Chain A
Amino acid sequence: MPDTRLGEAVRLESSTPLFTGPNWDFTALRQIYNAVERIALDELGLDVYPVQIEVITSEQMLDAYASVGLPLMYRHWSFGKRFAFHETLYRRGLQGLAYEIVINSNPCICYIMEENSMTMQTLVIAHAAFGHNHFFKNNYLFRQWTDANGILDYLSFARDYVTKCEERHGIEAVERVLDAAHALKDHGVNRYAHRTKPNLADEQRRAEEWRAHSEATYNDLWRTVPGAGKDKEDPDATEARLQEIKRELGLPEENLLYLIEKRAPRLEDWQRELVRIVRLIAQYFYPQKQLQLMN
């Protein structure tokens, strides 16, 4: 849009305000965005992901609340419950809605509410599209634990996967696994250093390979349990074998969902994959909890 840029350059020189009054339009948003960008990059030295600004309605904001602030999410009743909760509060005027939601993704998605005044749009662009964005891109916890490039594709994979499971195994069976995994999601994160940076784009491919591998090793693990009826020979050998299995289990393990996903004896493959989805999304949120003051 060369015409808007030209208009803006003229205004900057004459230093007249870019907007007056409360109403916003896309031209003003663009001009303000450019002005804020210049301050953020040139004066403050911020380093940000490309920004994608989306204007949403209050209804869509409630949707975003329901899916814990993510732009897309798999289906589960608890998200609907959260939607109903916030909607009731909002309709009764007991709770205002956030002016914006910003996603730790590349490009950095920034939702702004259509009912905001132009001043508030300016504020949220500065605050979220540049402030939070810089923080997401640069803070070591986000760099270490989250994959901003892969999160959106992964969420879309997760949603499709859950839908397919519902079709194949029934809504209730899926719900049962998700309910249980959600209950454990605070205990489904790794708290200490990571071998490699998470790469959610590889997740799908790896999920297949890993399944084949774990099937191969998993049967082995439970051969000594009663009923197998062939471990009576040598108590010492059995004991040694038990110790070896315990080593294989990697105990003690603080990540409950990880252990369940890898080692729970009775889960089927699709159930393990659901546990993994909940676990990876919990891990994605783990840094946020440690950065409420700073971010």
Chain B
Amino acid sequence: MRRLHDKGLITEGSMLEFLHSHSSVVFQPDFDDPRFSGFNPYALGFAMMSDIRRICEEPTEEDREWFPEIAGSGDGYGVLRHAWANYRDESFVLQYLSPAMIRRFHLFQVSDDSTKPALRVEAIHDDVGYRKIRSALSRQYDLSRREPDIQVVDVDLRGDRCLILAHYVHNGVLLEEKSSRAVLRHTAVLWGYPVKLLEIDAATDKTLKTYEVAPPG
């Protein structure tokens, strides 16, 4: 849109209409704003990509230290095309989230451990913190950590043909009971025989909870 405007192909009014729309799409409330509910992917994505161009075209000393391979290369779009082709959200953040972005978005990391009475701020915008924050944010985009790890582990071939599933529990987060039962009932419809789900602590191998559902009539 900016290029169209530079070329005189769209009017001032049109450019303003675009900017109005653009700024509402990439709006990011701050962490202490009541409207905050996590990161707006448009805001973070757009800011990171603009930041990559900045690093390529007008790098600071800090950028040269953090991104020696791209800082000052002058080819912002070349780097972006490479990133678009070869990264996903999780690896993109891990590779390209710069200290400048961490300061601009006021990022910090808080750990909430149920065995401790208080929350603890683990990382802020300093040299040690940048890397911690970057990898913590990257992990939030890792689908394998966002979706439960459920596998078919066995079938009771000798007995009642029961299908046995295991959910590997991380950080003690169990599945919600009501919807688990509902989904298992659906599974039993397809399987045609009973279905069993074991929730197993991934760290200790201990079975924390067991569901068993028979197929309907």
Contacts and interface: CB of A to CB of B under 8 A. Distances in A.
B18 interface: yes
A254 interface: yes
Interface string A215-242: 0000000101110000000000000001
Nearest to B165: A256
Nearest to A256: B152
Interface secondary structure of B, over-half rule: helix
Nearest to A258: B152
B67 to A, nearest CB: 18
Interface in B138-197: 141, 143-144, 147, 149-155, 157-159, 161, 165-166, 182-183, 186-187, 189-193
A294 B87 contact: yes
Contacts of B144: 191
A17 interface: yes
Given A180-B186, A294-B88, A39 B155 contact: no
Given A123-B21, A226-B158, A259-B152, A294 B9 contact: no
A110 B22 CA distance: 19
Contact of A266 (B18, B149, B159, B192): B192
B89 A290 contact: yes
B151 A20 contact: no
A84 interface: no
Interface stretch (B55-63, B76-84, B105-113, B122-130): B76-84
Given A260-B191, A290-B141, A134 B84 contact: yes
B85 interface: yes
B50 interface: no
A167 interface: no
Contacts of B133: none
Interface residues of A, number: 69
B90 interface: yes
Interface in A60-85: none
Contacts of B189: 176-177, 180
A176 B41 CA distance: 36
Given A119-B17, A254-B150, A17 B8 contact: yes
Contacts of B152: 251-254, 256, 259
A252 to B, nearest CB: 4
Interface stretch (A49-57, A138-146, A195-203): A138-146
Contacts of A36: 4
Interface in A108-126: 117-120, 122-123, 126
B85 A183 contact: no
Given A17-B11, A43-B3, A138-B81, A246 B41 contact: no
Contacts of B158: 224-226, 242
B88 A290 contact: yes
B143 A290 contact: yes
Nearest to A140: B86
B104 interface: no
Contact of B1 (A123, A139, A140, A249): A123
Given A245-B157, A290-B143, A15 B45 contact: no
B92 interface: yes
A89 B57 CA distance: 45
A265 interface: yes
B155 A249 contact: yes
Contacts of B151: 252-254
Given A20-B11, A117-B17, A246-B154, 4 more contacts: A17-B8, A242-B157, A254-B152, A267-B190
26 contacts: A17-B9, A17-B10, A18-B9, A18-B10, A20-B11, A39-B4, A118-B14, A122-B1, A122-B10, A126-B1, A138-B84, A222-B157, A225-B157, A245-B157, A246-B154, A253-B152, A254-B152, A265-B161, A265-B191, A290-B89, A290-B90, A290-B141, A293-B48, A293-B141, A294-B45, A294-B84
9 residue pairs, one from A and one from B, having the closest CB atoms = A266-B192, A15-B8, A180-B186, A183-B186, A293-B89, A119-B14, A252-B151, A119-B17, A138-B85
Interface of B: 1, 3-4, 7-11, 13-14, 17-18, 21-22, 41, 44-45, 48, 77-78, 81, 83-90, 92-93, 141, 143-144, 147, 149-155, 157-159, 161, 165-166, 182-183, 186-187, 189-193
